[in-house]
Structure 1
Amino acid sequence: MDSLLLIVTPVYAALLALLFLYLSFRVINRRKVVRVALGHDGDSDLTRRVRVHANFAEYVPFSLLLLALCELQGAPFELLHGYGAVLLAGRLSHAYGVSQTAENLKFRMAGMIATFGVIAATALTSLYLAVSG
């Protein structure tokens, strides 16, 4: 395997990018409906959509960076796919949970636990591979 070739990370980057676009369009569509260009003007639905989108933008890039570092250091494909799948499921769960007017904390918490778990696991994996290799 060529250690400079990423095979697994691009799959999850692409899937997460599509989710990011979906979340972006949800914000744009709500802005059109309530005619608010900036901020949220007190619209609770717009506020939720903006926060779901922003939270995704805050956590996913760093998660993908760590996943790519693990892959570049030769982590097993099965482990990388596990991390990627948990990250994707976590972001879907978080987006769903926070998007609900009557917020379902179970989905929100599951999403954040999954995201934090992937960040921690990929950070530790990357660190282990860096010092042991």
Structure 2
Amino acid sequence: MVLPVTLVIAAACAVINIWLAVRLVRGRMSGKVMVGDGGDPALLAGMRAHANFVEYAPIVLILMALVELARGSQGMLWIIGAVFVLARIAHPLGMGRSAPNALRAGGAMATWVVTLVLAGWALAIAVDAGDTDAMTIVPVETAPRG
């Protein structure tokens, strides 16, 4: 089964991941830092932004795929996926700024909301599926002892 929404959002996430990696490589090259952050706050912020993306993207994509497989509304999934992608672009842009800012906070908050909405949606689907007779316990007969 093809999961068009999840596939598109996963592709967008792959592009974001490469964008974040390229930003790091450029920072490493200009600072001549091959491992770690070399004490450069900007490089550390870039590393954390990339790591933060890698921490959230897999669970969101897994939840999206499972909800989509369970016949979740594609329209709602498109909206949730778009919010996630925008949040994951905003967050690292905000991480590059020294002071607290709306891009970083908004990106983080939107990511949390998307994750919680998908988790709740997945749980609701699971609970609803549990109300059917799809899972029936059949007793096993024991063989006579002789």
**Percentage identity across aligned positions?**
35
- Gaps of at least 5 residues in structure 2 are 130-146
- 2:9 is matched with 12
Q: Which of 41, 56, 61 is the equivalent residue of 2:58?
A: 61
2:56 partner letter: Y
Q: Which of 71, 74, 77 is the equivalent residue of 1:74?
A: 71
Local SS of the residue matching 2:4: coil
Deviation at 1:28, TM superposition (A): 0.8
1:106 partner letter: A
1:25 partner letter: V
Q: Normalized against structure 2, the TM-score is what?
A: 0.84
Deviation at 1:67, TM superposition (A): 0.9
Q: Normalized against structure 1, the TM-score is what?
A: 0.92
- Gaps of at least 5 residues in structure 1 are none
In structure 1, C-alpha distance between the alignment counterparts of 2:86 and 2:26, rounded to whole Å: 24
Deviation at 1:105, TM superposition (A): 2.0
Contact 1:73/1:130 (8 A) holds in 2:
no
- 1:40 is matched with 37
- 1:130 is matched with 126
The answer as to 2:69 corresponding to 1:91 is: no
- Structure number with greater CO (CA < 8 Å, separation at least 6) is 1
Count of paired positions:
129
What RMSD, in angstroms, separates the aligned Cα atoms of the two structures?
1.1
Runs of 4+ residues over 6 Å off in structure 1: none
